[in-house]
Chains A and B, each alone.
Chain A
Amino acid sequence: MFEAVLWISVTFISLAMIGLIYRVIKGPTVADRVVALDAIGISLVSVIALVSIVLETSAFLDIILLIGILAFIGTVAFSKFLEKGVIMEYDRDGNR
């Protein structure tokens, strides 16, 4: 029973990721693609949690934090780049 619930959940999340990949490919603007990529990163976290239940190991659970941090930093860098054209600013006043 519990196994069946796990596989149904993995199927749901995989379908969700396919829909998000459609939005990454088609998305009219760059911001659409960044939103969809962020959501893919978040979905990947739940896939990893389910895989570690299925394989009955806790070795993958560190990767959850890693992927969460990478998705967040990627989104922040992309939004800075979209807004200002640079990721790191050089002057220290911040008023380009």
Chain B
Amino acid sequence: MTEMEIVKFFAGLFILLGAFLSLVTAFGLIRLPDVYTRNHAASKSATMGVMLVLLGTFLYFWLIEHHFNSRLLLGVVFIFLTSPVAGHLIARAAYNSGVKLSDRTVQDDLAKARKKLEAEGHSK
């Protein structure tokens, strides 16, 4: 194997893994029962998938086309920072706007804590 083929193998491996993780995301969003579990699927595997695809693209452009593209690295860092924040915000908004948990949920610690606070006389 020449050097080119090794680089192409690893770039292709990263890209294929990332695309597979995107498919896993869609599967999770279709199959899981309520918003909170779907949000978990979307914010974890989608982030990992897009980071692997961007890493493979970065390796390809750097080692094959000899073009060090810093914007791809910036995109990786940016998505790594913002995607969990977005997931947390939308889950909190869903809970505060009263979306029900699924029937199979075992425990809801936040509801318990809120009930306790209200019993102690705090507002909200």
Contact = CB atoms under 8 A, between A and B. Distances in A.
Interface of A: 1-2, 5-6, 8-10, 12-13, 15-20, 22-23, 29, 31-32, 34-36, 38-39, 42-43, 45-46, 49-50, 52-53, 56, 58, 61-62, 64-65, 68-69, 71-72, 75-76, 78-80, 82-83
Nearest to B8: A2
A29 B118 CA distance: 27
Contacts of B26: 15-20, 39
Interface residues of B, number: 51
A11 B49 CA distance: 14
Interface of B: 8, 11-12, 15-16, 18-20, 22-23, 25-27, 29-30, 35, 38-39, 42, 46-47, 49-50, 53-54, 57, 60-61, 65, 67, 69, 71-72, 74-75, 78-79, 82-83, 85-87, 89-94, 96-97, 99
Contacts of A20: 25-26, 29
A83 B92 contact: yes
Nearest to A83: B93
Given A35-B39, A43-B25, A46-B50, 5 more contacts: A6-B12, A12-B22, A16-B22, A19-B27, A35-B38
Contact of B79 (A5, A9, A10, A45): A45
Contacts of A35: 29, 35, 38-39, 42, 87, 90
A20 B27 CA distance: 9
A36 B29 contact: yes
Given A35-B29, A46-B19, A46-B53, A53 B60 contact: yes
16 contacts: A1-B8, A13-B22, A15-B23, A17-B26, A35-B42, A39-B26, A39-B46, A42-B83, A43-B50, A45-B53, A46-B22, A56-B65, A64-B72, A68-B82, A72-B82, A78-B90
B93 A61 contact: no
Nearest to A44: B50
B93 A79 contact: yes
Given A23-B29, A76-B89, A64 B54 contact: yes
